Amino acid sequence: MSTGSAGWWEIITEARRWLGTPFHHQGRCRGVGVDCAGVVIGVARTLGLSGNDVAGYGREPYRGLLMRELDSQMQRIDAPEPGAVLLLRFAVEPQHLAICTDQETLIHAYQTAGACVEHRYSDLWRARTLQAYVYHGARRWPS
C-alpha cells in the first residue's frame, strides 16, 4: 500500500477528470468504463495514495464488505469534507462511494446516470451518507 501526499484539491481535480466516463460495473478505466469504487481507486492510484483494489464483488452489498474494506484502507473522519470519500447506502447495507468536493457537490460513477457525474450534495444524498473517510497520506481540508 503506497502513501502519497496529495492534497484535497488534487483529489477533487483528479476525480473531475473521470467525469463523463461511462458507468461499467467493476470498471477501472477513465474514459472507458468505471463504477463508484473504480473512481475512488483510480484517483488513489493516480495520486499515489493508499487504496488496494478488490475484485469480484457483486452489484448488491454483501454483509458490510465495503465498510470493512474502507475501514482497513482509509481513515474515518467525523463529517464530510472536501476530498473525502463518502460511504453511502440506498437501502439497508452500504453499497456506494462518492468523493465530496466543496460540500456542495459530490462526484461518483452512478448507474442511474450511466456515467461518472458531479451533482449537488442534496439533503437526499446527505441522508444516504453513512461515513466519511480520507485517504491515508492525503493533506486534508483545514478545520
In the chain, the domains with their CATH numbers are 8-55+66-135 (3.90.1720.10)
CA nearest to 40, candidates 139, 142, 134 = 134
Query: What is the per-residue pLDDT for 96?
Result: 92
Query: What is the per-residue pLDDT for 138?
Result: 85
Query: What is the per-residue pLDDT for 2?
Result: 44
Half-sphere exposure at residue 55, Cβ-oriented, CA atoms within 13 angstroms: 2
Percentage with pLDDT > 70 across the chain: 92
Query: What is the per-residue pLDDT for 61?
Result: 62
Query: What is the per-residue pLDDT for 58?
Result: 67
Strands 94-100 vs 33-34: parallel, antiparallel or unpaired: unpaired
Least confident segment among 1-15, 56-70, 117-131: 56-70
Query: What is the per-residue pLDDT for 67?
Result: 87
Query: What is the per-residue pLDDT for 87?
Result: 95
The yes-or-no verdict on residue 85 having pLDDT over 90 is yes
The yes-or-no verdict on residue 105 having pLDDT over 80 is yes
Strands (E), the chain: 28-29, 33-34, 74-77, 85-89, 94-100, 105-110, 115-120, 129-135
Mean of the per-residue pLDDT values for the chain?
Answer: 89
Instruction: Identify the band that residue 82 occupies on the pLDDT scale cut at 50, 70 and 90.
Output: very high
Cα distance between residue 121 and residue 61, in whole Å: 22
